[in-house]
Amino acid sequence: MPEKRGLAYDALDELLDLGGLSRGLAERVAITGDDPVLPTRYRIGTAGAAVLAATGVAAAELWRMQTRRKQSVSVDVPAATVSLRSGKYMEIDGKPCDREFAPLMKFYPAKNDRWVFLHTNFPNLRDRALQILGVPDDYNAVREAIAGWDAEALETALHEGGAVGSFVRTHGEWNRHPHAAAIAAMPAVEIVKIGDAKPRKLPKGDRPLSGTRVLDLTRVIAGPTASRTLAEHGADVLKITRIGLADSGQMDLDTGIGKLSARLDLREKDQHARLRELLGTCDVFTQSYRPGTLAGRGFGPEELAERHPGIVYATLSAWGHDGPWRNRRGYDTVVQAASGMADASRDDGAPKHLPVSAIDYVAGNLMAYGIMVALARRAKEGGSWMVRASLATAGRWIVDRGVLPRASYEATPTDLSDEAIARLCTTVDSPVGRIRYLAPIVQMSETPTFWARPPVALGHHPAAWPT
């Protein structure tokens, strides 16, 4: 292995510290390449590679616990960077997936030369925003209405009306915000013991997570990415959604690689009971609804720890579990706008998002890392465990990697070459067609990463564990 060097290794050390793992484990990690890979001031490659390396280290530790054999981990920074928008590279029968934002999902100028970002990718959020603005579903009407609003007042009105959007702050304005202070006190990922249980041996198999069962009640990108990462190390992941709940369209195929997918409606007594049955032999429960939402239906962390001692309960929120915004809705794009990242990425005077969904994918992989650390702790010392991550803390962690001087990235190409992308992709037949997708980026010397199941449409399978 090469000598330890670079900012990505420093970031990896931070994550190993958070997981209570020895920094010496980084000696078996090779991180190659460096920022910038894409034209952005933020060190997204450093952040992406470090968190992916951390998931590899955690998986290697689970393997060592099972077999007493060590293995090496390697991550390429350019590959890690493009994995932060993996859906861009998925093709179905040779055609790219639909990744376009909804027509009204844009930055809009407001009063006093300030800006607002409006999130309308789900029909219910679009309709609520239009109701608050008092206009029809028309871009010009929305733009004219927002121009008359104070940006921060509109942000508050959107939240109180059940819509989603953000006042575009500078980094300085965000750092002075009360919720930023709450975020500063939270680790990038938190692993907390929430109950007593006897140690549970790791299942035997030919991969680090073989035989580990994961119930996935997450949506959009970050949460599903966490369980997809567990699947690439051999976990059996059962994704649960319900009919009528807004979804992410073809993007759900990309985040659903390697998973089973079933429908359950927890409002129906028999289906609620079925989820409880599935929990009886489950190792990991992941959810990304707002804090407290599932607790109201009997699926909160303390409730599950009491009924199912030894459970690892992983929860991802937009803004974290504490602070004045803890119950607000939010998405990667909204966190970028609120926290100063979009303002600092301005182009021709207008705010601009990063070229990748770095917050989503970093948050998801932080969550996966925490889950694997919790599984190792459960095997060593027993207990039930909760893993907490959020988009806001992931965004802060990315910003904390530092920024690049403009001269170093302004001429950077907007993507890797077609040939380079093709080398990172694999193709599989699936029930929805022949699919090309970005293969796992983490390379393991003894247990190669791969997804054993092809992507499927939501609800394709029965709500049952594989035999």
CA 426 from centroid of its chain's CA atoms: 22
Distance CA 118, CA 341 (A): 16
5-44 residue pLDDT tens: 789 999 999 999 999 999 999 999 999 999 999 999 999 9
Q: DSSP states of 284-347 as a string?
A: EEEE-SSTTTTGGGT--HHHHHHHSTT-EEEEEESS-SSSTTTT----HHHHHHHHTHHHHT-B
Cis peptide upstream of residue 405 (ω within 30 degrees of 0): no
pLDDT of the residue at 467 = 83
Of 131-140, 149-158, 263-272, least confident by mean pLDDT is 263-272
199-227 residue pLDDT tens: 999 988 999 999 999 999 999 999 999 99
* C-alpha pair distances (Å), 192 with each of 20, 199, 295, 330, 373: 12, 16, 18, 24, 11
| pTM for the model | 0.96
Is residue 398 within 8 A of residue 362, CB to CB? The reply is yes
* 405 Cβ neighbours under 8 A, 6+ residues apart: none
Distance CA 428, CA 206 (A): 22
Average the pLDDT over 418-447 and give the result: 96
pLDDT of the residue at 55 = 98
Question: Is the predicted pLDDT of residue 290 greater than 90, yes or no?
Answer: no
Is residue 427 within 8 A of residue 230, CB to CB? The reply is no
Task: Write out the two tokens for 323.
Answer: 């602070």
350-380 residue pLDDT tens: 999 999 999 999 999 999 999 999 999 999 9
The domains of the chain, with CATH numbers, are: 6-99+188-323+354-444 (3.40.50.10540)
Q: Which of 445, 383, 358 is nearest to 40 (CA)?
A: 358
| Structure-token match 């609003």, residue found | 149
Distance CA 175, CA 178 (A): 8
Distance CA 396, CA 295 (A): 27
Q: State whether residue 22 is helix, strand or coil.
A: coil
Termini Cα distance of the chain = 40
pLDDT of the residue at 339 = 97
Is residue 1 within 8 A of residue 28, CB to CB? The reply is yes
Cα torsion at 131, 251, 301, 463 (round to 10°)? 110
pLDDT of the residue at 415 = 97
pLDDT of the residue at 2 = 44
Question: Is the predicted pLDDT of residue 109 greater than 90, yes or no?
Answer: yes
Is residue 369 within 8 A of residue 185, CB to CB? The reply is no
Question: Is the predicted pLDDT of residue 1 greater than 50, yes or no?
Answer: no
Which ranges constitute the DSSP H helices of 106-193?
Answer: 123-133, 139-147, 151-160, 171-175, 178-184
Average the pLDDT over 378-388 and give the result: 97
pLDDT of the residue at 381 = 96
pLDDT of the residue at 356 = 97
The share of the chain scoring above pLDDT 90, in percent, equals 90
pLDDT of the residue at 4 = 53
Distance CA 65, CA 204 (A): 11
402-412 residue pLDDT tens: 999 999 999 99
Question: Is the predicted pLDDT of residue 161 greater than 80, yes or no?
Answer: yes
312-350 residue pLDDT tens: 999 999 999 999 999 999 999 999 999 999 999 998 889
Question: Is the predicted pLDDT of residue 173 greater than 70, yes or no?
Answer: yes
Q: How many CB atoms lie within 10 A of CB 63?
A: 25
What band does 286 get if pLDDT is binned at 50, 70 and 90? very high
- What average pLDDT does the chain have? 94
The share of the chain scoring above pLDDT 70, in percent, equals 99
Average the pLDDT over 273-290 and give the result: 93
User: What b-and-e string marks burial along 16-51, b requiring 16 or more CB atoms within 10 Å of the CB?
Assistant: bebbebeeebbebbebebbbbbbbbbbbbbbbbbbb
234-268 residue pLDDT tens: 999 999 998 877 777 888 999 999 999 999 998 89
pLDDT of the residue at 244 = 77
